Amino acid sequence: MSKAGMHAENAIDVIAAQWTARRARGLTASESAELEAWRAADPRHRGSYLRALALERLAVQSLAPSAEEQAKAQRFAGQQDQSLSERAGSYETQAAAALVRFGRRSVIGGAIAASVAAGLGLGSYIYLSAQRYATEVGEIRSIVLDDGSNAVVNTGSAITVSLGEDRRLVELEKGEAWFDVAQDASRPFEVRYGDFRVRATGTAFQVAGTQRGLEVLVTEGSVVVLKGNESTPFARLRAGEKLTVEGKATNLEVLGAGRVEEKLAWRQGMVVLDGMTLAEAAGALNRYNKLQISVVSPELARRRIFGTFRVNDPVSVAKAMAIATDAQMERGDSGIVLHD
């Protein structure tokens, strides 16, 4: 039995587990008698066997949750992210198998799973669980999804990926991510942020969530942006185009290949400060670093800077800013301060 909080393996529980596995195969008459004798030998055997049967059910039911339960479970998992990643590996490794083929004669959860599958229009597949990927400040993460698509998740961002038989769904919770979508016309790839859905089949694009809207940037192919439940597209974008939505204002901009590459330099851990004001440049760098740059003089904050820098090297950027604008640079308690 357990001592000092560590839960030692319980011999009765192990035997109960073996019995449930044998029972799944179908017991012979003599095995049935043996099981009965074991259960009768000790009330704890009976209790442990009951618990094992209940756990088996729970396992099956947890793999075939209702849509509502799934959403709540995801929120629950989100809340527990930190402790889970510290304790048992990150959530996505826990939710490793994203899909389970839902087959012919499902044992216990069949009816539930079938109705979930039908209700969501998922054909013969159900979501086992969605995978969530979250990055820390300064972390840029490249992920190969199970369908062969690539996702690069920028600093301080979070996405949840659910790959189904008839669609591939990514929820952008916050931040920014770039996707290189594997071609599969039968399963549209959709990135959702707030009220918007960015849909593609085989293409590469970036979606960034902002406070008042979103920014979509297409690097290859084309995408369709949908809003709410509307069936007519909100916008269509081709390679080199950028859509910005801020509240009611919508702006479609043609950037050209060079500018698009600059915008995506973060994937290589670089940031291109293309004539940004110092205030904007400080903001762009601060997304990636705990060491924050602040520009305290208003005049200075409006000056512009050009250059390509490493996102994780705020000291060099601040030095460059100071040299370019002839400003003073100081290391304060909270970070780097630039002033006249």
Partner 1 sequence: MQSPDIDDQSEALAEWVCHEILPHERDLRRWIERSRLPVDADDIIQEAYARIAALGSVGHIENGRAYLFATARSISLQYLRRSQVVRMESLSDLSTIQIEDSQPTQEAVFWSKHEVRRLLTALPERCRRIFLLCRLEGYTHKEAAESLNVSEDVVQKQLARAMKALTTGFGCETDV
Nearer to partner 1, 37 or 323 (CB): 37
Minimal distance, residue 94 CB to partner 1, in Å: 4
User: Of 320, 286, 281, whose CA–CA distance to 304 is shortest?
Assistant: 281
For position 122 contacting partner 1 by CB under 8 A, the verdict is no
| Amino acid code (one letter) for 141 | R
- Name which of residues 70 to 109 contact partner 1 (CB under 8 A): 72-73, 76-77, 80, 83-84, 87-88, 93-97, 100-109
Nearer to partner 1, 23 or 167 (CB): 23
Q: Which two tokens stand for residue 162?
A: 């659910």
Cα 64 to chain center, whole Å? 21
Total residues binding partner 1 (CB under 8 A): 74
Q: Binding partner 1 by CB under 8 A: which of 38, 63, 202, 320?
A: 63
Cα 131 to chain center, whole Å? 6
Q: Which two tokens stand for residue 133?
A: 């990927």
For position 14 contacting partner 1 by CB under 8 A, the verdict is yes
Q: Binding partner 1 by CB under 8 A: which of 34, 85, 90, 110?
A: 110
For position 124 contacting partner 1 by CB under 8 A, the verdict is no
Alpha-carbon gap, residue 178 to 153, rounded angstroms: 7
Contact between 263 and 257 (Cβ < 8 Å) = no
Minimal distance, residue 67 CB to partner 1, in Å: 14
Contact between 318 and 293 (Cβ < 8 Å) = yes
Nearer to partner 1, 9 or 326 (CB): 9
- Name which of residues 256 to 275 contact partner 1 (CB under 8 A): none
Question: Using CB under 8 A, which of the segments 15-23, 167-175, 219-227, 257-265 binds partner 1?
Answer: 15-23
Nearer to partner 1, 96 or 144 (CB): 96
DSSP summary character for residue 3? B
For position 66 contacting partner 1 by CB under 8 A, the verdict is no
Minimal distance, residue 133 CB to partner 1, in Å: 16
Contacts of 154 (CB under 8 A, 6+ apart): 135, 140, 175, 176, 177, 178, 208, 266, 287
- Name which of residues 235 to 254 contact partner 1 (CB under 8 A): none
For residue 163, list its beta bridge partners: 168
For position 69 contacting partner 1 by CB under 8 A, the verdict is yes
- Name which of residues 16 to 55 contact partner 1 (CB under 8 A): 16-18, 20-27, 32, 36, 42-44, 46-55
- Name which of residues 184 to 213 contact partner 1 (CB under 8 A): none
Could you list the beta-strand ranges (E) of 164-269.
168-174, 176-180, 189-193, 196-200, 204-209, 213-220, 222-227, 235-238, 241-246, 249-254
